[in-house]
């Protein structure tokens, strides 16, 4: 983190299995349009319940990426 400028975007990823997988799902999707992603911050963790089971984890993250001349 030297002399750069970063932008943060907010995404919600989901997964039937784990918090970690839900975060990776969001990052993978973002990588289709955003390059140079550097870090993420978890801002909310929720999920859906179906028949008393966790059906999906839904994790909202902020992703920071470089805006510098690339």
Dihedral (CA of 43, 8, 19, 55) sign: positive
Q: How many residues bind a second copy (CB under 8 A)?
A: 54
57 binds a second copy (CB under 8 A): yes
20 binds a second copy (CB under 8 A): yes
Assigned token pair, 11: 């995404």
- 26 phi, psi to nearest 5 deg: -65, -40
70 binds a second copy (CB under 8 A): no
| Residue 50: closest CA among 25, 27, 16 | 16
Binding site for a second copy (CB under 8 A): 1-20, 23-31, 37-42, 44-49, 52-58, 60, 62-64, 67-68
């Amino acid at each position: 983190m030297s002399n750069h400028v970063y932008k943060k975007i907010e995404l919600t990823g989901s997964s039937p299995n784990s918090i970690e997988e839900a975060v990776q799902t969001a990052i993978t999707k973002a990588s289709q349009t955003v390059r140079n992603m550097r870090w993420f911050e978890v801002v909310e963790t929720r999920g859906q319940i179906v028949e008393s089971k966790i059906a999906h984890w839904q994790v909202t993250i902020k992703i920071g990426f470089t805006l510098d001349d690339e």
